[in-house]
């Protein structure tokens, strides 16, 4: 039988879902020039299927314009269709950016960072996920036995990531049931979010080909350890790539520039959590004593901090300033990577623009501090539900001009509709729904 290879042109939308349209690979050159039509209301499709109330209804047209640099093609064997896709920007018909495009939002924030402050950001998304059909066993965390029981999945997955052009870092069995973690090397700007999409979709494709399923759901069930997305990042001079994060003479080794950026992130973290932890079950994970972020605290090598200063390894050699970086921990894969990184940069821009004072490292777990001690450090509990987070996001005036009114309105409508879909379900039932969605 004659086969015609299909290329999917995709967007990672407000639901954190990768959707798009396919076209024959033989038309690639033409599609790179003219793109493919897209409907504005598609952005209101929730992770569970129903469409949130749309401000556009059946009206309007946009276009998916491909970025050829994101093209990925992986041969999954003679009996399987090739995994062949590219990421796109959603544009208006006149070629201008559409205000509700997540990738376009991130690009706007990156442009603001460079134009206002002469800076760029480098980032790497660290993913945790569960692999179906792996038997749950006690004492399997980080175990060689857990690695053995996943069979050839890891070999095939890492080989596929390498074929996709990603820099492979680590793969390991994680602490949770059926849980694994994969990390890749950093990339600059929008490419970091493009790679995060690739990590997820390649993992899902390899699992599907193996007759199983990989789920990046925020949490498997209420009593389980969650699947986080930890974003490692550093700032650098746009002109020459010089890192600007480290100052050995400053407190905690953090430079003045980075300190203001971090202060903005910490101040606005409760509000941007609506964007970075984007499901109703995300907040089952963001609780104290679960190795997850529960407060907007700055930590030094603290894996429960909302934002942490990462360790520098002497054995790595070289310039310490090129190792010194930070990690944002209040995110998961229910969120579009473009929205996550864009929200982080937006919050950092707010700090840079106001030259916020250097934040202090929290000396111990925030839940062990008194209210007065937390107040002195500017530490507050992160939202404990998606509706609470959405309310904070809506009220945060510092973010609205950066996100733009159209994107804020669409996002709030989308996510509040999603919470309505979930409100009558038990936490266990909600976890089941998100397990299938992600």
What domains can you pick out in the chain, each with its CATH number?
6-98 (3.10.20.70), 104-437 (3.30.590.10)
Cα 147 to Cα 437: distance, rounded to the nearest angstrom? 25
pLDDT of residue 316: 64
Helix (H, G, I), strand (E, B) or coil at 10: strand
Which DSSP category does 287 fall into? S
Cα 314 to Cα 104: distance, rounded to the nearest angstrom? 39
pLDDT of residue 319: 82
pTM: 0.97
Residue ranges in the chain modelled with pLDDT below 70: 315-317
pLDDT digits 0-9 by tens, 217-258: 999 999 988 999 999 999 999 999 999 999 999 999 999 999
Cα three-residue angle 248-252-257, rounded to 5 degrees: 75
pLDDT of residue 78: 85
Cα 4 to Cα 260: distance, rounded to the nearest angstrom? 52
| CA-only gyration radius of the chain, Å | 21
Q: Which stretches of 278-378 are DSSP H helices?
A: 282-285, 320-323, 337-354, 371-377
pLDDT of residue 334: 98
| C-beta separation of 8 from 20 below 8 A | yes
Contacts of residue 31, defined as CB under 8 A and 6 or more positions apart, other chains included, come to 7, 9, 23, 66
**Parallel/antiparallel/unpaired status of strands 36-38 and 62-66:** antiparallel
- Distances from the Cα of 81 to the Cαs of 8, 28, 73, 208, 351, in angstroms? 12, 17, 10, 12, 47
pLDDT of residue 150: 94
Burial of 414 per CB tally in 10 Å (0-12, 13-18, 19+) = buried
Cα 90 to Cα 101: distance, rounded to the nearest angstrom? 5
In this structure, what token pair is assigned to residue 54? 């749309």
Strand segments (E) across 217-256: 229-237
In this structure, what token pair is assigned to residue 260? 């203001």
Cα 339 to Cα 39: distance, rounded to the nearest angstrom? 20
Contacts of residue 179, defined as CB under 8 A and 6 or more positions apart, other chains included, come to 128, 129, 130, 131, 173, 220, 225, 227
- Distances from the Cα of 390 to the Cαs of 255, 271, 275, 276, 277, in angstroms? 32, 7, 8, 11, 11
């Amino acid at each position: 039988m004659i086969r015609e290879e299909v290329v999917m042109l995709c967007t990672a939308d407000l639901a954190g879902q990768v959707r798009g349209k396919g076209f024959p690979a033989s038309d690639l050159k033409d599609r790179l020039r003219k793109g493919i039509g897209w409907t504005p209301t598609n952005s209101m499709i929730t992770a569970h299927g129903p469409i949130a109330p749309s401000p556009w209804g059946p009206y309007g047209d946009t276009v998916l314009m491909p970025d050829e640099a994101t093209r990925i093609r992986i041969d999954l064997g003679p009996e399987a269709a090739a995994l062949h896709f590219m990421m796109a920007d959603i544009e208006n018909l006149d070629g201008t950016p559409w205000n509700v495009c997540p990738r376009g939002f991130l690009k706007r924030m990156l442009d603001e960072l460079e134009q206002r402050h002469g800076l760029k950001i480098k980032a790497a998304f660290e993913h945790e996920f569960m692999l179906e059909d792996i038997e749950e066993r006690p004492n399997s965390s980080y175990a060689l036995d857990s690695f053995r029981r996943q069979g050839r999945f890891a070999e095939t997955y890492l080989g596929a990531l390498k074929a996709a052009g990603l820099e492979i870092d680590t793969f390991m069995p994680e602490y949770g049931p059926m849980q694994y973690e994969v990390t890749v090397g950093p990339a600059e700007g929008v490419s970091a979010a493009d790679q995060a999409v690739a990590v997820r979709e390649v993992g899902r494709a390899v699992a599907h080909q193996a007759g199983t399923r990989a789920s990046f759901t925020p949490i498997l069930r209420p009593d389980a350890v969650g699947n986080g997305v930890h974003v490692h990042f550093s700032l650098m001079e746009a002109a020459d790539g010089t890192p600007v994060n480290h100052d050995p003479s400053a407190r905690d080794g953090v430079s003045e520039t980075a300190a203001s950026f971090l202060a903005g992130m910490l101040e606005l973290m409760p509000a941007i959590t609506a964007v970075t932890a984007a499901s109703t079950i995300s907040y089952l994970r963001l609780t104290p004593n679960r190795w997850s972020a529960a407060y907007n605290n700055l930590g030094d090598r603290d894996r429960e901090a909302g934002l942490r200063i990462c360790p520098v390894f002497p054995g790595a050699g070289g310039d310490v300033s090129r190792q010194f970086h930070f990690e944002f921990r209040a995110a998961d894969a229910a969120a579009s990577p473009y929205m996550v990184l864009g929200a982080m940069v937006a919050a950092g821009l707010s700090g840079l623009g106001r030259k916020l004072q250097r934040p202090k490292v929290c000396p111990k777990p925030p839940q062990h501090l008194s209210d007065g001690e937390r107040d002195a450090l500017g530490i507050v509990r992160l939202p404990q539900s998606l509706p609470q987070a959405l309310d904070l996001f809506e009220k945060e005036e510092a973010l609205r001009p950066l996100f733009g009114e159209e994107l804020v309105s669409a996002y709030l409508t989308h996510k509040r509709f999603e919470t309505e879909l979930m409100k009558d379900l038990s936490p266990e039932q909600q976890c089941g729904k998100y397990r299938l969605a992600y």
